[in-house]
């Protein structure tokens, strides 16, 4: 049976037909100890939808490592549960809303994703229904309405595009009744991880409440599949600009040629490379992180060797909720004693530790 957009399978079926437990994993892949992995999934849930599962060609490939739990997630390291201080009362006046920058807020509207990335910056929330409530969303909307300085709202989660069309339309309609809200952005893995969710009906909703900008999340050139191409082009054809935020992941994409291929493929499907992120210092993700020097090395290899359109901004999230800070190859001069000094949008200076450090990343102001 064909569904909206010409897809062979409905996206809801793909979610149901995937892997959602340690037992499912052990039955599917050789060498997985269900008991060991259950300890991981009790803390950090697993979800691998049927589409993503079909793309895993072998144990250890890019699709496998990003979605299959690993005992390394329980190893004690230098990460923090909430390294960006999103839940800090100073920046989070109501639950699941972060107001850090003067004119922008982050509003979490879902706790589910099409896959649960093992390197997720919100491992503390994603897949945990107790962290979410529609009343929090209502409180967030009320906060935005009461603060006229807010002109830009980023909807994230979890993944907003896993909500129903009706719920998405409701959220966008509510935001469009607030006169001072000019820009709405949606952070979503759906075009990459569950492209079947992008349907003509969803695109019509996004078009109706324009301008709506989509920031998606491709990390490896193999993810740019025919299905992903169709999803991204449907969004762009509906007048929705799509950009990509990529995370550097050790052993998956931490080399210049892989990143170059990814950026070229993204441009071919009309997705603009936006950010290349150093992995956040999140508890349970040490085995994915790369040194800051690696990101600088990759950007240096791209500059002048490919179109400027294919070169993303390299950025790091400053410890302690300092915000995103762009890095450039000349930033090497800012290294001191194995650490780097970063200046955020307010002019505050932060010390960013080498990811190999066993210290917790605590900021200081100069």
Residue 362: CB atoms within 10 A of its CB come to: 11
Catalytic hit among 64, 111, 117, 246? 117
C-alpha separations of 15 from 47, 224, 262 in Å:
8, 20, 26
CA distance 277 to 268: 22
Catalytic hit among 167, 324, 332, 348? 324
Catalytic hit among 120, 192, 232, 246? 120
Catalytic hit among 12, 28, 38, 104? 104
Q: Is 91 a catalytic residue?
A: no
Q: Is 122 a catalytic residue?
A: yes
Q: Is 324 a catalytic residue?
A: yes
E runs forming strands in the chain: 97-98, 104-108, 152-156, 183-187, 212-216, 242-247, 272-277, 313-318, 323-327, 335-336, 339-343, 349-352
Query: Which 3-state string (H, E, C) describes 6-25?
Result: HCCCCHHHHHHCCECCHHHH
Q: Is 113 a catalytic residue?
A: yes
Catalytic hit among 280, 283, 286, 289? 280
What residues contact residue 130 under an 8 Å CB cut-off, 6+ apart?
none
Would you put residue 173 in left (φ > 0), alpha (ψ -120 to 50) or beta? alpha
Q: Is 120 a catalytic residue?
A: yes
Q: Is 317 a catalytic residue?
A: yes
Q: Is 246 a catalytic residue?
A: no
184 beta partners: 153, 212
- Smallest Cα–Cα separation from 144: which of 183, 182, 181? 181
For tokens 């979605």, what's the residue?
67
Catalytic hit among 47, 51, 78, 113? 113
* CA angle, residues 152, 285, 113, in degrees to nearest 5: 50
Q: Is 280 a catalytic residue?
A: yes
Q: Running DSSP on this structure, what letter comes out for residue 56?
A: -
Catalytic hit among 65, 317, 350, 352? 317
Catalytic hit among 55, 100, 189, 260? 100
Catalytic hit among 12, 17, 43, 101? 101
Long-range (24+ apart) CB contacts under 8 A made by 351-357 are 351/319, 352/292, 352/316, 352/318, 352/319, 353/78, 353/319, 354/291, 354/292, 355/78, 355/278, 355/279, 355/281, 355/286, 355/289, 355/290, 355/291, 355/292, 356/291, 357/78
Catalytic (active-site) positions: 100-101, 104, 113, 117, 120, 122, 280, 317, 324
């Amino acid at each position: 049976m064909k569904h909206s957009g010409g897809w062979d399978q409905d996206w809801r079926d793909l979610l149901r037909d995937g892997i959602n437990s340690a037992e499912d994993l052990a039955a599917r892949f050789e060498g997985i100890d269900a008991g060991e992995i259950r300890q991981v999934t009790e803390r950090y849930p697993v979800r691998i939808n049927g589409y993503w599962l079909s793309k895993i060609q072998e144990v250890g490939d890019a699709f496998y490592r990003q979605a299959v739990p690993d005992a390394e997630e329980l190893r004690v390291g230098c990460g923090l549960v909430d390294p960006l201080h999103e839940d800090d009362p100073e920046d989070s006046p109501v639950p699941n809303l972060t107001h850090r920058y003067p004119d922008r807020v982050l509003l979490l509207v879902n706790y589910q994703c099409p896959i649960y990335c093992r390197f997720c910056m919100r491992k503390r929330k994603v897949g945990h229904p107790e962290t979410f409530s529609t009343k929090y969303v209502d409180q967030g909307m009320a906060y935005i309405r009461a603060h006229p300085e807010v002109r830009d709202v980023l909807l994230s989660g979890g993944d907003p595009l896993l909500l129903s069309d009706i719920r998405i339309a409701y959220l966008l309609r509510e935001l469009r009744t607030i006169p001072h809200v000019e820009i709405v952005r949606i952070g979503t893995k759906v075009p990459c991880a569950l492209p079947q969710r992008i349907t003509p009906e969803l695109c019509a909703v996004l078009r109706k409440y324009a301008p709506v900008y989509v920031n998606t999340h491709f990390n490896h050139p193999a993810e740019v599949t025919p299905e992903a191409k169709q999803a991204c082009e449907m969004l762009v054809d509906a007048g929705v600009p799509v950009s990509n935020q990529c995370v550097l992941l050790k052993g998956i994409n931490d080399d210049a040629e892989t990143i170059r291929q990814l950026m070229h493929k993204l441009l071919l499907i009309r997705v603009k490379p936006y950010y290349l992120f150093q992995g956040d210092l999140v508890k349970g993700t040490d085995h994915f992180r790369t040194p800051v020097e690696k990101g600088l090395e990759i950007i240096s290899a791209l500059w002048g060797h490919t179109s400027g359109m294919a070169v993303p901004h390299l950025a790091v999230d400053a410890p302690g909720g300092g915000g995103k800070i762009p890095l450039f190859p000349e930033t090497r001069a800012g290294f001191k004693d194995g650490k780097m000094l970063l200046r955020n949008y307010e002019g505050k200076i932060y010390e960013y530790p080498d990811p190999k450090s066993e210290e917790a990343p605590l900021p200081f102001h100069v």
